[in-house]
Structure 1
Amino acid sequence: MSTRIKISNANSESYKAMMNLEMTLQTTLLTNIQKELIKIRASQINQCAFCLDMHTKDALKYGETPQRIFLLNAWRETSLFTEEEKVMLAMTEEITLISRKGLTDETYEKATQLFDEEQIKSIIMAVVTINMWNRIAVSTHLEVPEH
């Protein structure tokens, strides 16, 4: 893969704004595990190797199990995820794949039964934010660091 521009060096004000958004998400009511599940699932869909590498490591650091990470792509087929996590993952997929149907009324209704308004806002913003980072990493060929 060819080397491409580093967004962090390209327009410092835009990058600072993105980092501020990321830092704001750290103050939400979502748990670290919930945030990492959102980030991993969106990154799987978007095929972002850099973000998958980063967020699977972060999830493990926060106490997520390898088994749940391995099965995240098939979350509907396992009982390893809670009802809340399944709705959150459905939201992640529908928002990430917005051109298909977007966030459906059915999924949104389930979310309102399990989450309060602030949590729903946080989930939506977390999904939007990781999709932004995925698009930057993929379009700039951000490489996975070798360890």
Structure 2
Amino acid sequence: MNDRTNIYSAGGPLFKAWYDLSMQVEKCGLEKSLLELVKIRSSQINACANCLNIHTSDASKAGEAEQRIHLVAAWEEAPCYTPRERAALGWTEHLTQVATKRAPDHVFAALEAEFSPEEQVQLTLAINVINGWNRLAVGFHLYDPALGWAE
């Protein structure tokens, strides 16, 4: 049971705008599987059980292989990711941990080699959105009861 503020009812127009932005990012044109891997990795780094639960389930439902879902935490060593996915996961790691990892040139070069300028911005917005959801979920103890899981 959640004993913290209900962000959906208390958030008002600002939360609605945030929610609408997240829904728009979902439709940005980047591959669904890529977006789910990014969400999983960011949620792992941020220790957000709610978002991990949702996005591992979503990835599986979208046809992502179980092995690839399980190996996201060790993506640098796992041979099952494409260069495009590796660039996205590297960018995700650095932006999710921007205070300590920054966004070094070699990480941006990998991103630039695989993503158009428009896709770079789309991916960065997707990373920002999942990091925001991680913070909302951790801070307000959110969970998705439809998935049969709770803290």
Give the letter for the 1:135 counterpart: R
Contact 2:2–2:142 (CA<8 Å) still a contact in 1? Answer: no
- Answer yes or no: is the 8 Å Cα contact 2:95–2:102 preserved in 1: yes
Matches within 5 A, 1:1-147: 3-145=3-145, 146=148
TM-score (norm 1): 0.94
Size of the alignment, in residue pairs?
147
Quickly say closer, same or farther: Cα 1:15–1:2, change in 2 above 3 A: closer
Give 1:78 shift: 1.2
Runs of 4+ in 1 over 4 A off after TM superposition: none
| Superposition deviation, residue 144 in structure 1 | 5.0
CA RMSD of aligned residues (A): 1.4
Q: 2-side partners of 1:64 and 1:103: how far apart?
A: 28
Deviations 1:37-68 (A, max 9, x none): 11110000001011011111110111101111
Sequence identity percentage:
39
Distance 2:26 2:136 in 1: 20
Structure 2: stretches of 5+ with no match in the other structure: none
Q: Which runs of 5+ in 1 are unaligned?
A: none
TM-superposition CA deviations, 1:89-143 (whole Å, max 9, x none)? 0000000001013221111111111110011011100000000000000011113
Q: TM-score, normalised by structure 2?
A: 0.92
